Amino acid sequence: MARQRSLRLSTRVTLFFGAMALIGGMALAVATFLFARNSLLDQRIADARNDAIFHAQDIRGAYDADADIGEFVIDLDYEPDAFGVLLPDLETEPLRQISSRSGWSLDDLPVELVEAVASRQYGQQLYEYEGDTWLAIGVNIRAYDVGYIEAFPLESTENALRVLATALIIGTALAAIVATFFGWSTSRRLLRPVSRVADAAGDIASGSLDVRMDEESDPDLNRLAGSFNEMADAVQERIEREQRFASDVSHELRSPITALTAAVEVLDARRDDLPERTQQALDVVVTQVRRFDDMVIDLLELSRLEAGAQDLHREP
């Protein structure tokens, strides 16, 4: 079964940096969004509560002044798109109501909050109306036993949160891209000495036994370069020793083989004077001696070629 090919080390380092930045950025973005959302909602609810209470106090003042309550409720300074509903009589069924905006009434408010205000309680509630989020604040004006509910749209808060979420997503994506590029450049810088080791090993494999690595500024990488150079020295020394041994052996064997060949040639020249069985033995000896002589010649030639190739690689 073929071994599955794995990703390159530089690719794995690059992907690791990118994945860590993406995960960390997403976690930070989610935490930031939740914190900002809670802070914005808390501030919005506090502002809405203050406005509702302030308007309720104004309505009490209008009651004290015996003013036209209906006109007063309509003329209150509301936020854009906000509206208020006054319940002037909590004993009637159905409840009487005075709305500050035409077309908006108790039917547009959450039932639970209306029931709480009708029961002379304070309440607040987030609710959905026609796809939009609203905040309703209900208070009881005890001095005149009336209820007041004011509703505030949260569209501006939601828009701010959408903008924040978009910015966080873009920021997370950019951080992941920058981290990926940083991981790519870092992996290239860290693996550059390994590439030099591979190049030097390839040169040695091709016959350049005198190739060595330069010293590195980093202590750990310098240790790698030193170990590689020591290994290359040991390999070169062993190869040269084997070459010298082969050359010495071939030279030492050359002289006796030459003498033996000459003697055999003399005997072969006088083979007719020898008995038949001796001639057969002589043929075997002549064949083996010539073969041995060819082997020694080949060994000498190989030693010269290797020595010449090594000298050639040493040339600048």
Query: Domains of the chain: which residue ranges?
Result: 9-174, 219-314
Pairing of strands 132-141, 83-87: unpaired
Query: Cis omega before residue 153 (within 30°)?
Result: no
Written as tens digits, the pLDDT of the chain (316 aa) is 445 566 777 777 788 888 888 888 899 999 999 999 899 999 999 999 999 999 999 999 998 898 888 899 898 888 888 999 998 877 777 778 888 887 888 888 998 998 898 888 899 999 998 888 999 999 998 888 899 999 999 988 889 999 999 999 999 899 888 888 888 887 777 777 777 777 777 777 776 777 777 777 767 667 777 777 788 778 777 777 776 766 666 666 666 767 777 777 776 777 666 777 776 777 777 787 778 777 777 776 766 666 554 444 444 4
Evaluate whether the domain defined by 9-174 bears CATH number 3.30.450.20: yes
83-87, strands of its sheet edge to edge: 98-99, 83-87, 146-153, 132-141, 123-129
The predicted pLDDT at position 311 comes to 47
Q: Is this prediction's pTM over 0.85?
A: no
| C-beta separation of 199 from 64 below 8 A | no
The predicted pLDDT at position 51 comes to 93
CATH of domain 219-314: 1.10.287.130
Nearest to 250 by CA among 297, 305, 308, 304: 297
